């Protein structure tokens, strides 16, 4: 429900307007204020209807009569300008509040993923530097596959978000059913591709002493791939209906389980054998299975999603929904896959330098996830808000949501990057006992700080484009930014200029900032 203070504000403002000496301006602005109040009342009625269906969801977005509001921007009357300034600021604050309400649970869930990455890297690194290097290579390969799959599942978000914005809850369950089917088929395809990579892992120029450590770890992660995609399907459904807390709690629980499993299996505690890197893989597999099972139980066996379960059970798989999901999912998957490839394929070049460089690369990836995951948490909230407003055909609030999201991204960049910079000389020692790794990590912090603005920019407007379902250009932009700029620049700086791993990392700001600028220009054009 909208706070009563808003209605009081409008009523008071209406009285102030009525005291204006200019009768023509008074009548025009009075008509506008009455229109605002009427829209608020209609929105409140709509909120009540939504709450009757799904009471756990946040209140419906704050409305505005776009054309009337924008008409006051260029008015010559001071009271009109004052009206525009006050209402515009009020509405902007509503977007910040709504994005935080949706985004914070997602960010917390992503922080859980960050903690897991830290825990894995810390435990493996202190067990063995060689195991840390082996984990770096294998995780980079699977990160590419998982991010690609996550991007594909993101195609469900604008569909569910638009349906939810229009109140078409009966269709949402059907779309989830088709999404889980599509994700399962993609899991089979990715498993075959990764199996081929496994058979040729010895041909990729990695240190020979790491291959016996890489192979069993690779197999365990390969088995877990299906469960990652199934969880993604459930998560994007929940995010699309703005119920982000369920995913948060499941992620946090799964990550705690993974950390405990790591401690037991890596070091051989509680009577278990000391399994090292393989133990970390087994713990990861168990936690991913658990998360899918828990989400399925919540969906099918509780009343939380009963209105969506009806649509899931009483509708069959159909070609139209399947093709619609693929039409949106594949471009997003390609965009996110190419973005991740600029980091994952860089790991191959880092491996050419040596084991120490590969270990430092893994440490930096764990550190970079601090900001990256928080960006993507807020980016997911932007996509949901934008898709909700798109479902209502409210272009002005589509733009306001996206720009408010970018402001939050800048704040996250500042908060996240500053302590990392100050602790640059100590961070490496948290993850590895090797002094050489610590020195290399401190050097890599500088390019990491440089690309934070570009990373926040590209994540925000990529998700805004996803929210308005304009996803095909993202694929071409990603190809230009990451394959034509970032990767070649990494090779040039790293090996032609002979800057080593620092040169490889100096390429990332160029690729990320290019992508961010191009996404912004595309979104700005689409929403004018």
HEC string of 67-100? HHHHHCCCCCCHHHHHHHHHHHHHHHHHHHHHHH
With respect to residue 17, please indicate whether it lies within any of the assigned structural domains: yes
Task: Yes or no: say if 107 and 377 are a contact pair by the CB < 8 Å rule.
Answer: yes
> 485 pLDDT band (50/70/90 cuts)?
very high
Residue 124 has pLDDT above 60, yes or no: yes
Show the domain range for 251: 104-151+160-526
C-alpha 12: how far from chain center: 41
Tell me whether residue 311 is in a domain.
Answer: yes
Here the tokens at position 454 are: 């570009």
- Kindly state whether residues 73 and 121 are assigned to the same domain: no
If asked whether residues 254 and 374 sit together in one domain, one would say yes
The answer to whether residue 97 is domain-embedded is: no
Nearest CA to 136 out of 335, 290, 280, 283 is that of 280
- 200 and 57: one domain? no
Q: Any idea what DSSP says for residue 486?
A: I
pLDDT for the residue numbered 23: 43
pLDDT of residue 40: 52
Highest mean pLDDT pick, 118-127, 189-198, 211-220, 385-394: 189-198
Instruction: Tell me: pLDDT of 252 over 60.
Output: yes
pLDDT single digits (tens) 339-382: 877 887 888 888 888 888 888 887 888 788 777 778 888 888 88
Claim to verify: residue 321 and residue 396 sit in the same structural domain: yes
Confidence check: pLDDT of 467 > 50: yes
More confident residue, 140 or 3: 140
How far from 112 is each of 58, 118, 184, 373, CA to CA, in Å?
23, 10, 25, 10
Same domain (yes/no): 48, 129: no
430 φ/ψ sector (left φ>0, alpha ψ -120 to 50, else beta): alpha
Query: How far, in whole angstroms, is CA 149 from its chain's centroid?
Result: 13
* Rounded Cα distance, 172 and 193, in Å: 31
Q: What percent of the chain has pLDDT over 90?
A: 18
Q: In this structure, what are the phi and psi dihedrals at residue 314, rounded to the nearest 5 degrees?
A: -95, 5
Pair (304, 331) in one structural domain: yes
Same domain, 343 and 273: yes
> Looking at residues 48-77, what average pLDDT do you find?
44
Tokens in use for 406? 């970018």
- Residues 6 or more apart in contact with residue 234 via CB below 8 angstroms: 176, 180, 247, 292, 295, 296, 299
Averaged over 4-24, what is the pLDDT?
A: 42
436 has pLDDT over 90: no
Reply yes or no on whether the pLDDT at 302 is more than 90.
no
Distance CA 489, CA 503 (A): 8
Residue bearing the bigger pLDDT, 300 or 391: 300
Judge contact between 478 and 458, C-beta under 8 A: no
Average pLDDT on 414-431 reads 82
Q: Rounded distance, CA 266 to CA 264, Å?
A: 6
Q: Does residue 220 lie in a domain region? A: yes
Asked whether residue 412 carries a pLDDT value surpassing 90, the answer given is no
pLDDT band at 25 (very low <50, low <70, confident <90, very high): low
Average confidence score pLDDT of the chain: 78
307 pLDDT above the threshold of 70: yes
d(CA 85, CA 524): 22
Backbone Cα Rg of the chain:
25
Find the range with the poorest average confidence among 30-39, 346-355, 438-447: 30-39
The structure's pTM equals: 0.71
- 98 within some domain: no
Neighbours of 511 (CB within 10 A): 29
Residue 10 or residue 500, greater confidence? 500
Last residue of a domain, one of 92, 115, 132: 92
- Contact 265/280 with Cβ under 8 angstroms? yes
Average pLDDT over residues 483-488: 92
Please check whether residue 520 is in contact with residue 463, taking contact to mean a CB–CB distance below 8 angstroms: no
Structure tokens at 18: 């009525």
Round to whole Å and give the CA distance between 301 and 239. 19
Into how many domains does the chain fold?
Answer: 2
Q: How many CB atoms lie within 10 A of CB 90?
A: 14
Q: Percent of the chain having pLDDT more than 70?
A: 80
User: Domain check: are 109 and 79 in the same one?
Assistant: no
- Give the pLDDT score at 248: 85
Question: Per-residue pLDDT for 97 more than 50?
Answer: yes
Phi-psi region of 276 (alpha: psi -120 to 50; beta: other; left: phi over 0): left
- Going by C-alpha positions, the residue among 251, 270, 250 that lies closest to residue 260 is 270
What residue spans of 392-507 are helical by DSSP H? Answer: 395-422, 424-431, 435-450, 452-467, 472-478, 487-491, 500-506
C-alpha 331/C-alpha 383 separation (Å) is: 15
Q: Please state whether 20 falls in left (phi above 0), alpha (psi between -120 and 50) or beta.
A: beta
- What pLDDT sits at residue 54? 42
pLDDT of residue 91: 58
Phi and psi at residue 484, to the nearest 5°? -95, -20
**Same domain, yes or no: 276 and 210:** yes
What pLDDT score was predicted for residue 241? 83
Task: Report the alpha-carbon angle 405-411-415, nearest 5.
Answer: 140
Q: By C-alpha distance, which of 190, 471, 231, 232 is closest to 332? A: 471
- pLDDT for res 256: 86
State the pLDDT at residue 171: 85
Number of Cα atoms under 13 Å in the Cβ half of residue 101 = 17
- Give the single-character DSSP code of 494: I
pLDDT of 10: 43
Between 431 and 395, name the one with better pLDDT: 395
Residue 24 lies in a domain: yes
Q: Same structural domain for residues 73 and 109? A: no
The verdict on residue 66 lying in a domain is yes
With tokens 């939050």, the residue in question is: 408
3-state SS class at 243? coil
Q: Which two tokens stand for residue 261?
A: 């499993």
Q: Are residues 457 and 477 in the same domain?
A: yes
pLDDT confidence band for 457 (50 / 70 / 90):
very high
Residues 214 and 207: their CA atoms lie apart, in Å, by 11
State how far the Cα of 173 lies from the Cα of 68, in Å rounded to an integer: 37
**CB-based contact 39:65 (threshold 8 Å):** yes
Q: Say what the pLDDT of residue 114 is.
A: 64
Which residues 6+ apart lie within 8 Å of 468 measured at CB? 158, 386, 387, 390, 398, 523, 526, 527
Mean pLDDT (whole number) for 221-239: 90
Residue 58 confidence (pLDDT) above 70: no
pLDDT at residue 29 greater than cutoff 60: no
Considering the domain architecture, whether residues 410 and 474 belong to the same structural domain is answered as yes
The answer to the question of residue 99 being in a domain is no
């Amino acid at each position: 429900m909208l706070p009563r203070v808003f209605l009081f504000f409008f009523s008071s403002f209406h009285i102030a307007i009525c005291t204006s000496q200019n009768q023509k301006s008074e009548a025009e602005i009075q008509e506008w204020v009455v229109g605002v109040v009427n829209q608020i009342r209609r929105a409140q009625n709509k909120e009540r209807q939504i709450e009757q269906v799904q009471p756990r969801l946040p209140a419906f977005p704050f409305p505005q009569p776009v054309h009337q509001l924008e008409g006051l921007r260029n008015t010559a009357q001071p009271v009109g300008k004052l009206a525009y300034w006050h209402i515009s600021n009020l509405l902007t604050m509503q977007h910040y509040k709504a994005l935080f309400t949706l985004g914070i649970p997602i960010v917390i869930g992503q922080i859980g993923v960050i903690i897991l990455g830290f825990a894995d890297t810390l435990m493996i690194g202190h067990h063995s530097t060689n195991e840390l290097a082996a984990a770096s290579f294998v995780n980079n390969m699977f990160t590419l596959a998982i991010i690609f799959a996550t991007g594909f599942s993101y195609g469900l978000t604008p569909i569910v978000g638009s349906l939810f914005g229009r109140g078409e809850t009966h269709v949402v369950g059907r779309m989830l059913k088709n999404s889980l089917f599509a994700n399962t088929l993609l899991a089979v395809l990715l498993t075959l591709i990764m199996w081929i990579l496994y058979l040729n892992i010895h041909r990729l120029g990695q240190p020979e002493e790491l291959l016996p450590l890489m192979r069993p770890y690779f197999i365990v992660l390969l088995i877990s791939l299906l469960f990652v995609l199934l969880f993604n399907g459930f998560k994007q459904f929940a995010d699309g209906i703005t119920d982000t807390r369920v995913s948060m709690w499941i992620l946090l629980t799964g990550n705690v389980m993974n950390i405990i499993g790591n401690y037991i299996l890596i070091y051989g505690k509680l009577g278990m054998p000391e399994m090292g890197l393989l133990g970390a893989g087994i713990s990861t597999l168990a936690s991913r299975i658990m998360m899918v099972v828990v989400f399925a139980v919540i969906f099918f066996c509780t009343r939380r999603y009963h209105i969506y379960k009806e649509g899931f059970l009483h509708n069959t798989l159909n070609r139209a929904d399947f093709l619609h999901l693929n039409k949106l999912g594949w471009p997003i998957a390609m965009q996110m896959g190419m973005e991740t490839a600029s980091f994952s394929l860089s790991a191959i070049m880092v491996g050419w330098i040596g084991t120490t460089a590969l270990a430092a690369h893994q440490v930096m990836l764990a550190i970079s996830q601090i900001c990256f995951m928080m960006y993507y948490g807020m980016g997911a909230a932007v996509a949901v808000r934008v898709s909700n407003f798109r479902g209502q055909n409210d272009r002005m609030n589509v733009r306001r949501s996206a720009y408010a999201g970018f402001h939050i991204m800048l704040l996250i960049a500042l908060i996240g990057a500053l302590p990392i910079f100050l602790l640059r000389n100590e961070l490496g020692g948290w993850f590895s006992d090797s002094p050489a790794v610590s020195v290399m990590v401190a050097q890599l912090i500088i390019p990491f700080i440089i690309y934070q603005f570009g990373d926040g920019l590209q994540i925000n407007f990529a998700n805004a484009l996803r929210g308005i379902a304009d996803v095909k250009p993202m694929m071409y932009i990603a190809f230009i930014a990451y394959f034509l700029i970032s990767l070649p620049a990494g090779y040039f700086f790293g090996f032609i200029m002979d800057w080593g791993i620092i040169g490889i990392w100096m390429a990332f700001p160029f690729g990320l900032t290019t992508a961010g600028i191009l996404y912004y220009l595309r979104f700005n054009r689409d929403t004018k």
